[in-house]
């Protein structure tokens, strides 16, 4: 994502990033779960080898051209549903799906598409009126390595692997963490978490699952 595009995306959403999905009570929480770093091994003296012509480094796989996402599947938490493009409400909140509000998901269509370089974002409700589970109820249970499969409008299937999960307050640096990484192709899933704060008309936390496109 170009710097100018990222700036526009960040500026189009309020700093508090109050998802319209979080305008209802929710109690789910989770701690950060990150992929463990490889265990360090003791260094050994290298064995001399004959001088040879260096093998050229492989050409990096280019980020693909993709069409809009239309379906998401997360086998680990039994999610298998459509994706609806959403934007930003006049309040500055990211909108949630309207066609299938409790069992569908919303992709922030002014930002990155899943599969493009940058960070795409998909949201969904954690619960529905009355407190019953909604589409992202079990997002809090995702673990590193869990797969997210996106189907695009043209029929492409893109597989992402979970790298970490965290519940974080929607503060000043929140947007940068969700939208700001353009070093690869990422997909971040978000829903409500924490406790209901009546004075703020929102929940105290946001549950975020970070994933990266498989090579």
Mean pLDDT computed over 159-168 = 97
The fraction of the chain above a pLDDT of 90, given in percent, is 53
- Highest-confidence range of 10-24, 81-95, 104-118, 166-180, by mean pLDDT? 104-118
Q: pLDDT confidence of 151, banded at 50, 70, 90? A: very high
Query: Is the pLDDT higher at 30 or at 90?
Result: 90
| H or E stretch covering 8 | helix 3-12
pLDDT at 67 over 90: yes
Mean pLDDT computed over 29-55 = 39
Query: Is the pLDDT higher at 200 or at 151?
Result: 151
For all residues of the chain together, what is the average pLDDT? Answer: 78
Q: How far apart are CA 131 and CA 111, in angstroms?
A: 31
Q: Quick one: DSSP state of residue 201?
A: T
Mean pLDDT computed over 62-69 = 80
Q: How far apart are CA 121 and CA 13, in angstroms?
A: 13
Q: How far apart are CA 7 and CA 10, in angstroms?
A: 5
115, 122 in Cβ contact below 8 A? no
pLDDT at 34 over 80: no
Question: What architecture does CATH give domain 15-34+83-213?
Answer: Beta Barrel (2.40)
pLDDT at 192 over 60: yes
Which residue bears the tokens 């189907």? 151
Beta bridge mates, 90: none
For residue 23, the model assigns a pLDDT of 55
Any idea which of 40-49, 135-144, 198-207 has the lowest mean pLDDT?
Answer: 40-49
Q: Quick one: DSSP state of residue 54?
A: P
Convert 147-177 to b/e letters by CB count within 10 Å (16 or more is b): ebbbbbeeeeebebbbbebbbbebeeebbee
Q: pLDDT confidence of 172, banded at 50, 70, 90? A: low
Q: pLDDT confidence of 97, banded at 50, 70, 90? A: very high
- The set of long-range contacts for 47-53, using a CB threshold of 8 Å and a minimum separation of 24, is none
pLDDT at 110 over 80: yes
96, 106 in Cβ contact below 8 A? yes
Beta bridge mates, 208: 166, 190
For residue 89, the model assigns a pLDDT of 82
| Model confidence, pTM | 0.76
pLDDT at 2 over 90: no
Give residues with Cβ within 8 angstroms of 68, minimum separation 6.
Answer: 85, 107, 109, 113, 152, 153
114, 65 in Cβ contact below 8 A? no
């Amino acid at each position: 994502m170009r710097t100018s595009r990222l700036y526009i995306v960040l500026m189009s959403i309020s700093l508090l990033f109050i998802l319209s999905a979080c305008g209802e009570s929710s109690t789910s929480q989770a701690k950060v779960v990150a992929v463990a770093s490889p265990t360090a091994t003791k260094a050994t003296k290298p064995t001399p080898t004959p001088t040879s012509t260096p093998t050229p480094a492989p050409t990096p796989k280019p980020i693909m051209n993709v069409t809009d996402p239309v379906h998401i599947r997360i086998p680990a938490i039994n999610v298998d549903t459509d994706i609806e493009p959403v934007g930003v409400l006049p309040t500055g909140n990211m909108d949630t799906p309207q066609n299938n509000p409790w069992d569908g998901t919303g992709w922030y269509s002014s930002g990155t598409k899943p599969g493009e370089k940058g960070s795409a974002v998909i949201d969904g409700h954690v619960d529905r009126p009355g407190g019953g589970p909604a589409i992202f109820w079990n997002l809090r249970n995702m673990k590193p390595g869990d797969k997210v499969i996106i189907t695009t409008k043209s029929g492409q299937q893109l597989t992402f692997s979970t790298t970490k999960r965290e519940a974080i307050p929607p503060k000043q640096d929140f947007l940068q963490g969700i939208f700001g990484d353009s070093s690869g192709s990422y997909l971040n899933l978000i829903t409500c978490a924490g406790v209901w704060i009546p004075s703020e008309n929102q929940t105290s936390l946001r549950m975020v699952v970070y994933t990266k496109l498989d090579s």
